[in-house]
Every structure is written in C-alpha cells, then in structure tokens.
Amino acid sequence: MSSSITLSAATRQNLLSLQDTAALAATNQGRLSTGKKVNSALDNPVNYFTAVGLSDRASALTDLLDGVSNGIQTIQAAAKGVDAVTSVVKQMQSVVTQAQSNATANLPKLQGTRALATAGEATATGKSIYDVTMGKTLAGTAAAATSSTPGVVGINTANANQMQLSAGFTTYKFDIGSTDTVSDLVNNINKSGIATATIDVQGQLQITGTGSDTLSVGLGKTTSGAFAVDATETAKLTGGATPSAAGGTSAQRSTLVGQFNALRTQLDQAARDAGFNGTNLLAGDSLSIAFNEKTGAAKSKLDIQGTSLSASALGIGEFKDSATAQLGADIGIQNNADLTKAADALSNALANLKSISSTFGSNLSTVQNRQNFTKEMINVLTTGAANLTNADMNEEAANSQALATRQSLAVSSLSLASQASQGILQLLR
C-alpha cells in the first residue's frame, strides 16, 4: 500500500479486516480441497512429523502382511500334506490287516510221525490215547503204559537233557527233568512264545509255530556253551531226525505286495507336493515370518523348521514277497512276525504325524493371531496419523459460510467508510 495515499481510520480498519478475512478464507479453502488441516511442516511441525512417522510404520507393517500371508499359506499347505500322508498310512494299515487275516495258512507245522502211545496201552489203562500219552514220563527206559504204571517214552537224558526251539532270530531252550512227563513238555513248549504243542488223537506230537519263520525242534544238550542236537533222541519224540517246518505261502498276501508299495510311493509323492511358493516344510525347508519392521534383537519373527517327511523317515519299509523275516524296516509279507512289525511301524507313524500336525497347527494359530494384530496396529497407526493432520470437514464447511458472511460485511463496512469521504467531496463542489 503506497504511503502517499491517505485513508481514513475507518477505511483502513475495514480494509485490514477484509484482508484478514481473505487470508482465513484461503486457508479454509485449502483445508476443504485437501481434507487436511496440516499439509506441511509449516502448518504444525510437531503434528506433521509425528503423523509421518506413524504413516511410515503403518506402511512398513502393510508390506509385512504379504509375507505373513504367504507364511500362513505355506503352513497350511504343509498341514494339508500331513493330512494326505495320514490318509495314506491308514490305507496301508488296511492292507496289513488284510494280510494278517489269513495268518494261519502261513504258520509252520511240525507233525510228529511216531505214536507216543498205542491203542493197546489205551485199552490196558482204560484211558484215551491222548491221556495215556500226556501222562508218560519222558526220561528213562522205554516202557508201555499199564493199569499201574504211566509208561516211559525212553529219552536218554545223558545224551539229551534239553529241548531247543528256533524260529527266525529267536531261540528258546528248556531242561528236561527226570520226572517230567509229556504234559510237562507240551506246557514248556507253549511257554516259549514261538510255538505251541499238542498231542493228536493218534498220540503224535504236533508243534505249530506262532510266526511264519521256519521252525526247528531238537533234543540235545549244551556242551561248552553250544547246544548240540541229538538226532536219535529227537526221533524218539517226533519220528524224524532233526525236524523242521517252514511256513506256507499265501497267494492273497502276494497280491498285496504291489498295493502296499504303491501306497508307499504315494506317501512320498504327497509329502513332496506339499510346498507353497517354493517352500516345502515337509521337505525339510525352513520358514521365517517377520512380524515387525525392526532389525536385530528388536525384530519380532517366527522361525519354523520343517521336517523331511517320507515313508523311510516314518519307519515304513517296503513289502517283500518272502516268508523270511526282513532286517530293518522292510517286511516279509509271508512272515506273521514281520506283519506285526509293520502294524507297529504304521501305528508309530500315525503318532508321529499327529505330533507334526499339532506343531503346524500351533504355528498356524500363532501366525494368524499376529496377522490380526498387525492389521489392528495398522488401523491404529493410520487413525492416529489422520487425527493429527485431517481437517474436520463439518467445521471447515461452517467456517466457509461464516467467512463468506464476514467478507460480505467487511465489504459493506468499507463501502460505508468510503461514503463519508464522498460527502466532503460534495462540499468542495
């Protein structure tokens, strides 16, 4: 404003008021157009820089949500893989159960060919051949049973005072006492756990293995720590020199070999296919999920170490069409003891899978909780930044109306102040 121009006090006051109103209107229009009351550090340095810090952290957490989401999908993929493997293991259990259903056909049976008692002895004693046989004494000079004596089988304990049974990797041995009877012999065999014995209607000894391994039976004695079978003494019981019997072969079991091994392959494939975005926790991969934007000791994260899941890792071997007990985890399907081993291995595998599934479930719950927490934090930070910088649009709209009225009044007042000067001008004319 040029100092050479003289304005009245009233005019100058009204002019200043109009200028203030115009400045306020400009500020009001800026807030209405941007929606913010603080657009730069010039407006309010404290609020501006505080809001920038809050917004930057909200943005950093937003970026981390993508990694958290991928982590959740990776864990879920692994959990689905465990479910698939569990289903396969249960199918494998069904195959083992089918194989075990015809166990009797695979048991080795050793049938004696010597009658330990005769029909004549049964007549003389008034007993059955079975009862006569069970009552006979094992050791001593062979003698027929009479109405007053039980009879003697005729085992020479000087040559053979022990009986040994062998099946697979198991050996059972027991002593023959001087007063032991055939009944005692049968009972001792039944205690072995690897065979059962009975006397048939003809008075012959019959021994059946409890497993599918070849069963060997012999009478003899231990010398210098080694047991030696005496064929002659053994023949007095069985009719054979050194009797042994192998288990049978089941065609039904043979057909299950391919089925079981195919399921085993499916188990491995299901575990290999349980990855997400290049990370497979069932292949031993590790996963690290970050929950905050900090580094070093202040960094919040969850580290998950996967496990190499496979049939071998679970202790599930292959099926072999064999009656021989297999070493390691492999299973001879014609061998009853091996099938029991397979059933136990599958039960242990299910327990391990349950533990793995529980671990993944716990990890998934943790990550999902942190995901929800992060979303809430982002909302809190964004809202906090907005509270510091956003304008109250209702207030600014009301201010706009008030400023318009004020500006109109200022113009009117300026006009009235100018009219006083015009009156003086009239007098000069």
Instruction: Give the number of other CB atoms < 10 A from CB of residue 182.
Output: 24
pLDDT at 413: 64
> Do 156 and 185 belong to one domain?
yes
Task: Calculate the dihedral angle through the C-alpha atoms of 223, 224, 229, 233, rounding to the nearest 10 degrees.
Answer: 0
Q: Within this chain, do residues 310 and 214 fall inside the same structural domain, yes or no? A: no
Q: With 60 as the cut, is the pLDDT of residue 129 above it?
A: yes
- The count of C-alpha atoms lying within 13 angstroms of the C-alpha of 312, restricted to the half-sphere facing its C-beta, is 3
Residue 1 located in a structural domain: no
Residue 375 lies in a domain: no
82 and 37 inside one domain:
no
- Report residue 107's pLDDT band, with 50, 70 and 90 as the boundaries: confident
Specify which residues 163 forms β-bridges with: 174, 219
The sheet with strand 205-209 has its strands ordered as 109-111, 205-209, 195-199
Domain end point (choices 219, 245, 271): 245
Please tell me whether residues 407 and 363 are part of one structural domain. no
Specify which of 35-39, 250-254, 297-301 reaches the highest per-range mean pLDDT: 297-301
The predicted-structure confidence for 302-320, as pLDDT tens digits, reads as follows 999 999 999 999 999 999 9
The amino acid occupying position 354 is K
Higher pLDDT, 214 or 198: 198
* Cα 219 from Cα 228, distance rounded (Å): 8
Q: Write out the H or E segment, with its range, that includes residue 423.
A: helix 393-428
Q: How confident is the model at residue 423 (pLDDT cuts 50, 70, 90)?
A: low
**Lowest model confidence (mean pLDDT) among 206-215, 225-234, 264-273, 402-411:** 402-411
Final residue before a domain boundary, out of 321, 339, 368: 368
Q: Which residue has the higher pLDDT, 149 or 21?
A: 149
pLDDT over 80 (residue 272): yes
Q: pLDDT, tens digit, for every residue of 223-234?
A: 998 999 999 999
- Find the helix or strand (DSSP H, E) in which 342 lies: helix 336-389
Count of helices and strands (H, E) across the chain: 9, 14
CB count within 10 Å of CB 207 equals 24
Domain shared by 319 and 336, yes or no? yes
Is position 390 within any domain? yes
Regarding whether 279 and 232 lie in a shared domain, the answer is no
117 vs 421, more confident: 117
Same domain? 343 vs 412: no
CATH number for 357:
1.20.1330.10
Q: Are residues 90 and 160 in the same domain?
A: no
Looking at beta carbons, which pairs linking 301-306 to residues 24 or more positions away fall under 8 Å? 302/71, 302/363, 302/366, 302/367, 302/370, 304/75, 304/363, 306/78, 306/280, 306/281, 306/282
Question: Are 228 and 276 part of one and the same domain?
Answer: no
Mean pLDDT within 69-88: 96
| Mean per-residue pLDDT, 326-348 | 90
Q: Is the pLDDT at 378 greater than 80, yes or no?
A: yes
DSSP 150-202: --EEEE-TTT--EEEEEETTEEEEEE--TT-BHHHHHHHHHHSSSEEEEE-TT
The whole-chain average pLDDT of the chain stands at 86
Q: What are the C-alpha distances in Å from 322 to residues 86, 171, 336? A: 27, 21, 11
> Does the residue 321 lie in any domain?
yes
Return the percentage of the chain with pLDDT > 90, whole number: 54
Residue 327: per-residue pLDDT:
87
Q: Considering the domain boundaries, does residue 380 fall inside one?
A: no
Q: What is the pLDDT of residues 151-168, one digit of tens each?
A: 999 999 999 999 999 987
If one counts the domains in the chain, the total is 3
Quick one: 290 and 212 in the same domain?
Answer: no
Same domain, 178 and 114: yes
Identify which has the larger pLDDT, 427 or 308.
308
Specify the DSSP class assigned to residue 36. B
Instruction: Report if residue 312 sits inside a domain.
Output: yes
Judge whether 402 lies within some domain.
yes
Query: Tokens 């015009």 belong to which residue?
Result: 422
Q: Given a cut of 80, is residue 80 above it in pLDDT? A: yes
Instruction: State the pLDDT at residue 1.
Output: 47
Where residue 230 falls (left for φ over 0; alpha for ψ -120 to 50; beta otherwise) is beta
Residues 201 and 305 in one domain: no
- Last residue within a domain, chosen from 325, 340, 368: 368
CB atoms within 10 A of CB 78: 31
According to DSSP, residue 103 is labeled G
Q: How many CB atoms lie within 10 A of CB 83?
A: 13
SS3 234: helix
Q: Is residue 70 part of a domain?
A: yes
Average pLDDT over every residue of 231-249: 81
Expressed as residue numbers, the domain containing 24 is: 9-58+386-428
DSSP annotation of 308:
B
Burial profile 254-263: b = 16 or more Cβ within 10 angstroms, e = fewer: eebbebbbeb
The number of beta carbons lying within 10 Å of the beta carbon of residue 372 is 10
Q: Which of 362, 367, 360 is nearest to 81 (CA)?
A: 360
